[in-house]
Structure 1
Amino acid sequence: MPDSALSGKTVLVTGGAKNLGGAISRDLAAAGARIAVHYHSPSDKGLADETVAACVAAGGDAFAVEAELTSVTEIRRVLDSVTGRYGALYATVNTAGLARGNPMTEVTEDEYDAHFAINSKAAFFVMAETAKRIDDGGAILNLVSSLLAAYTGRYSVYAGSKAPVEHFTRALSKELAGRRVSVNNLAPGPMDTSFFWNAAAPGEEEFSRAQTPYGELTKVEHIVPWVRFLLTDGWWLNGQTVFLNGGFATR
């Protein structure tokens, strides 16, 4: 059933073709939102097209846009295509990210630069360029990581490149307060998707499960309702990072 708070409103979901981003795109479309499904490379085009079709079938309107978000020019092109198509932008949900797990002594310069390019630089400019175009009363929501509250090795570059987003979020939430735009982060725990599997070391999945009282990894369906909530009734939360991990880590 469409949510009157989202019906007809435009949402950009970066990384919106698959995994958590794909589920968020579908859920918001089912609530009546118009979805811009961003995807990173031609290899994901098929998944993006499937997500767009699912959004339309759910009752929303949607289109896909490919872009390399480490380029500010490309970020601007994406946002201009959204406002050009729909005439407005209510919210951006930024799920795009990169995760690899290596000891610091094995991290290459290229690996370091790649993480900070997408997890920090792209997040900063997606937020900044969204802020220039977003409707008053809208929302900006970033997906970060519960590793920001964890005491662990192997993810120094991943967690380190996500940490600046908390500072970006606090600053932008202050700057946009007069326009009633909320800016927040959701920090899932290790998630039962390929994003985690591709980064995890042997035995890490079992270890991560054991760190929560429930003995489970975070699932996509644990996160999606919070996204919809923070874009609607949860607007009063602002400048915050919410750790959604079943008790994996707290702060």
Structure 2
Amino acid sequence: MNTQSNPRSVAIVTGASRGIGAAIAERLAKDGHAVVVNYAGNRQEADQVVERIVASGGEAIALQADVSDPAAVQLLFEAAESRFGGVDVLVNNAGIMKLAPLVDSDDALFDSQIAINLKGTFNTLREGARRLRDGGRIVNLSTSVVGLRLESYGVYAATKSAVETLTAILSKELRGRSITVNAVAPGPTATALFLNGKSPELIDRMSKMNPLERLGTPADIANAVAFITGPDGGWINGQVLRANGGMV
């Protein structure tokens, strides 16, 4: 599928009202996709993403859905199909990050991240496997912390490790439909999700953990997703692309 040249290619980007998700939505719209900007609660920010896409000549709508709710995910896909006629690309970006050592991690911290990061991805993958048109693309967002194994990231990294496993298995289960399934695993990226609660000293130290000695930007991650979903990424399948500036 030449997703860039097909003006009717339709992409759902979950958690796309801000940060990396918004950057992905805007980049995919620039590449010619009609984009469903999914959001959980902030309609105003989602509408602003849509406005920027439309102002740049693209096509987009904002649709609310809590990805942890399978019924809401089903309605999200149905609404996308009703508006655009089908779905070709699914980008699972929605996620939360709550940090604490395992000994201090309460049930709420565990359950909320499992519900959104893991169950939410499972819900959209299941629906996407049923509904994506042949030749489509699925991209899940993981994290480079899966490999780095940093303290206090245990539960968060565990959810993303599970997402990487689902990525590899679903890529095999969709055999015969020319649908690729991959993951992009950002390193430290300058978003509110990452920066919140961190001291300037910690941010500076983490920005120097990779050889390029800077934090990633949402555009860096959107570029990686665009490659996988575009025509040049068609032979990439079942892989995890660690977009982290060379961080080991």
Common topology (TM > 0.5): yes
Runs of 4+ in 1 over 6 A off after TM superposition: none
- Residue 49 of structure 2 corresponds to 51
> Is 1:7 the counterpart of 2:10 in the alignment?
no
2:149–2:157 contact (8 Å) kept in structure 1: no
Matched with 1:147 is 145
Structure-2 separation of matches of 1:6 and 1:204? 44
CA distance in structure 2 between the aligned counterparts of 1:205 and 1:141, rounded to whole angstroms: 27
- Structure 2 distance, partners of 1:209, 1:16, is 24
Q: CA deviation at 1:4?
A: 4.1
Matching of residue 98 in structure 1 with residue 96 in structure 2: yes
Structure 1 runs not aligned, ≥5 long: none
The alignment status of 1:135 with 2:133, answered yes or no, reads yes
- Quick check: 202-211 or 49-58, which moved more? 202-211
Q: Which has the higher contact order (CA 8 A, sep 6+)?
A: 2
**Is 2:19 the counterpart of 1:39?**
no
1:195-233 deviation line (CA, Å, top 9, x unaligned): 101254663212211211121111112111221111122
- Please state whether the residue corresponding to 2:32 is helix, strand or coil: coil
Of residues 129-138 and 24-33 in structure 1, the stretch that sits farther from structure 2 once superposed is 24-33
User: What SS does the corresponding residue of 2:185 show, helix, strand or coil?
Assistant: strand
For 1:115 and 1:146, the matched residues in 2 are separated by: 17
Greater Cα shift, 90-99 or 198-207? 198-207
TM-score (norm 1): 0.94
Could you tell me which of 43, 61, 64 is aligned with 2:62? Answer: 64
The one-letter amino acid of 1:16's match is: A
RMSD over equivalenced CA pairs, Å: 1.4
Deviations 1:123-152 (Å, cap 9, x if unpaired)? 011111011110100000011100011032
Letter of the aligned partner of 2:18 in structure 1? K
Q: Are the structure 2 counterparts of residues 6 and 228 from structure 1 closer, same or farther at C-alpha, using a change threshold of 3 Å?
A: farther
From 181, 184, 192, give the equivalent of 2:182: 184
Unaligned runs of 5+ in 2: none
- Relative to structure 1, the CA distance from residue 6 to residue 20 in structure 2 (aligned partners, 3 Å threshold; closer, same or farther) is farther
1:20 matched to which residue of 2?
20
SS in 1 for 2:234: helix
Match of 2:110 in 1: 112
Task: Please give the alpha-carbon distance, in whole angstroms, between the structure 1 residues aligned to 2:201 and 2:116.
Answer: 27
Cα distance in 2, alignment partners of residues 247 and 131 from structure 1? 32
- Find the partner of 2:192 among 191, 194, 203: 194
Q: Deviation digits for residues 17-66 of structure 1, max 9, x if unmatched?
A: 1111111111111222111000011xx11110111111112222111111
Contact 2:184 2:241 in 1 (8 A): yes
- How far the C-alpha of 1:177 sits from its partner, in A, is 2.1
SS of the residue aligned with 1:213? coil
Q: CA, structure 1 residues 158+199, in 2 after alignment: closer, same or farther (shift >3 Å)? A: farther
The reply on whether 1:214 has 2:244 as its aligned counterpart is no
Contact 2:36 2:63 in 1 (8 A): yes
